[in-house]
């Protein structure tokens, strides 16, 4: 293929992608061609000429695929943050998020001193079964040094086809010599509900972290196992939940709203995108008072569920204003391993509120009325504004520095090293642990004075207790420890304990 043929092929490819990717329909005029196509073809011709000039005259030789990919990404970047070209890696990440599983070894990792460090092994996974523990520093993968490598590259090397092997070397606190592991990868399920329990004997708590394909089944399972004749309230925790599948939001909301209730509607330009999503669940829990916890990390599907609960006067929303990601992305496959993710619509709650804050382009504050019978006034300015606003406590500069320097985790891993089983029976946060932490910080981080530590002792102890509890008892330990200092959760329990029925819960805010 000569140069002219290459450029013609590129132009035709981009034109075809433009038509297919936007879902546009071209109506022919009397002359037999689209009335809007002339300028588009001229602009694509300009692009092909620029591409040719760059390809043949730029000071360095550039790969054609890279240039085209950069051009596509540049076009999409001008639209919004969520419209992106997805290469193999991004497309694979999307599949993991929506399907809720991938091939890997089963660890949560972060970085410390330039190395990937295990935060916690996921229970039941290959890493967990082999005895990998929190605090293990991964120094090599397939005999290749991991120092100062990006987390993305580390994760990419650890993941792979189930049944294949990966060789890693770790350095463990308290053990001089490195430990070598050969781990057989397996399917790792990303749990949507990592923790669910009953608090104070009568109040069901469900932590929902995403809206993958497993979200509604896991929420349903938690409700089935925990709700009984003595249940007096439900707490649905959607904090730091970035969202996921709109159909899963529809199903999760369906557990708490009457059948055939509107959950959300979508509106856009693409054919078939305007749609109303209604509840379809046969088993519901509509007669139990509930609260929903949200924060600035609650986005998309989380806002759909919390918005529907609020609009229908079904439960009290507690926490901080949500993220405001109220746009719909449609995935257009471009091949077996790549796709275009394009914003095609916006979400609207049952009362008609626009959830979206990012694309609004205005600062208009609208007022709407709930539709569940109470006709409460609610505000729309993008995102979901809680009925009871409780922002997170502002961290002190000392707490921020401790977290930045990874002091909580590093001390916890060191403190539990070699005595995890014993500590499970004897551990409690006390003066001995506090003094050991102060000694560790003084040795590791001279920028933090002991006076500052003592001044922030109560809050630091609460955070430190959560880290140690996670190492000793996993996710369950982490949640149980954080509950002790969780102001938003405490408010939810306080409200529910004063509530006798679903509508009674709103008396809590009637005078506000």
Is 455 considered catalytic here? no
Q: Which of 186, 311, 320, 486 is catalytic?
A: 311
Q: Which of 48, 216, 300, 327 is catalytic?
A: 300
Close Cβ partners of 484 (under 8 Å, ≥ 6 residues apart)? 462, 465
Close Cβ partners of 32 (under 8 Å, ≥ 6 residues apart)? none
Is 112 considered catalytic here? no
Q: What does the pLDDT look like over 302-341, one tens digit per residue? A: 999 999 999 999 999 999 999 998 898 999 999 888 999 9
Q: How many residues does the chain have?
A: 512
Residue 243 near residue 327, CB atoms below 8 Å: no
CA distances in angstroms from 428 to 91, 412, 459, listed in the order given = 45, 13, 16
Hey, which bits of 137-255 come out as E strands?
A: 137-141, 144-145, 165-171, 179-184, 186-189, 195-199, 203-207, 233-237
- Read off the pTM: 0.83
Mean pLDDT in consecutive groups of 10 residues from the start of the chain, 512 residues: 41 36 30 56 92 95 94 93 89 79 88 89 88 91 94 89 94 90 92 96 97 96 98 97 94 97 95 94 92 95 97 97 90 90 94 82 77 91 92 91 90 92 94 96 87 96 96 93 96 96 84 50
Residue 378 near residue 368, CB atoms below 8 Å: yes
What CATH number should be reported for the domain whose range is 195-392? 3.90.226.10
Q: Which of 137, 149, 251, 325 is catalytic?
A: 325
Q: What does the pLDDT look like over 58-69, one tens digit per residue? A: 999 999 999 999
Q: What values do phi and psi take at 71, rounded to 5? A: -65, -40
pLDDT at 278: 98
Burial class from Cβ neighbours inside 10 Å (0-12, 13-18, 19+) for residue 242 reads middle
Following DSSP, what letter does each residue of 411-442 receive, concatenated? Answer: HHHHHHTT-HHHHHHH----HHHHHHHHHHHH
Is 212 considered catalytic here? no
Residue 116 near residue 98, CB atoms below 8 Å: no
* Domain spans, the chain: 3-78, 101-189, 195-392, 397-490
| CATH class of the domain defined by 101-189 | mainly beta
Q: What values do phi and psi take at 297, rounded to 5? A: -90, -5
Residue 481 near residue 466, CB atoms below 8 Å: yes
Of 156, 162, 296, nearest to 239 (Cα)? 296
């Amino acid at each position: 293929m000569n140069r002219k043929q290459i450029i013609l092929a590129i132009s035709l490819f981009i034109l075809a992608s433009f038509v297919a990717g936007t879902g546009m329909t071209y109506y022919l005029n009397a002359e037999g061609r689209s009335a809007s196509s002339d300028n588009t073809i001229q602009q694509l011709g300009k692009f092909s000429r620029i591409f040719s000039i760059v390809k043949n005259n730029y000071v360095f030789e550039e790969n054609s695929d890279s240039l085209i990919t950069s051009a596509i990404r540049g076009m999409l970047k001008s639209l919004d943050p969520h419209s992106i070209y997805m290469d193999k890696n991004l497309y694979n990440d999307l599949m993991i998020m929506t399907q809720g599983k991938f091939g890997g070894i089963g660890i949560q990792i972060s970085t410390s001193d330039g190395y990937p460090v295990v935060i916690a092994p996921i229970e039941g996974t290959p890493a967990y079964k082999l005895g990998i523990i929190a605090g293990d520093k991964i120094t090599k993968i397939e005999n290749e040094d991991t120092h100062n490598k990006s987390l993305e590259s580390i994760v990419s090397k650890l993941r792979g086809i189930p049944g294949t092997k990966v060789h890693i070397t770790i350095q463990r606190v308290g053990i001089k010599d490195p430990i070598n592991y050969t781990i057989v990868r397996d399917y790792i399920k990303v749990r949507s509900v990592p923790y669910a329990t009953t608090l104070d004997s009568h109040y069901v708590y469900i932590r929902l972290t995403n809206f993958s394909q497993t979200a509604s089944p896991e929420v349903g399972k938690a409700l089935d196992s925990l709700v009984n004749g003595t249940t007096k309230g439900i707490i649905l925790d959607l904090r730091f939940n970035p969202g996921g599948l709109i159909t899963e939001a529809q199903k999760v909301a369906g557990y708490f709203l009457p059948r055939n209730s509107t959950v959300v509607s979508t509106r856009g330009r693409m054919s078939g995108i305007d749609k109303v999503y209604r509840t379809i669940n046969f088993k519901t829990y509509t007669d139990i008072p509930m609260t929903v916890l949200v924060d600035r990390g609650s986005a998309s599907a989380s806002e759909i569920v919390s918005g529907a609960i609020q609009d229908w006067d079904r439960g009290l929303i507690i926490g901080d204003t949500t993220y405001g990601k109220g746009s719909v992305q449609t995935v257009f496959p471009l091949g077996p391993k790549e796709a275009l993710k394009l914003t095609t619509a916006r979400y609207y709650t049952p009362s008609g509120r626009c959830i979206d804050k990012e694309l609004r382009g205005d600062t208009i504050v609208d007022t709407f009325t709930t539709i569940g019978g109470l006709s409460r006034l609610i505000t729309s300015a993008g995102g979901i504004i809680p009925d009871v606003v409780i922002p997170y406590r502002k961290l002190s500069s000392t707490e921020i520095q401790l977290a930045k320097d990874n002091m909580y985790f590093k001390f916890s891993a060191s403190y539990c090293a070699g005595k995890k089983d014993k500590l499970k029976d004897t551990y409690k946060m006390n003066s001995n642990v506090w003094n050991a932490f102060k000694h560790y910080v003084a040795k590791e981080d001279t920028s933090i004075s002991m006076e500052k530590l003592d001044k922030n002792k109560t809050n630091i102890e609460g955070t430190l207790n959560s880290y140690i509890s996670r190492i000793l008892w996993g996710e369950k330990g982490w949640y149980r420890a954080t509950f002790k200092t969780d102001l938003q959760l405490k408010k939810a329990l306080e409200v529910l304990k004063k509530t006798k029925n679903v509508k009674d819960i709103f008396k809590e805010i009637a005078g506000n």
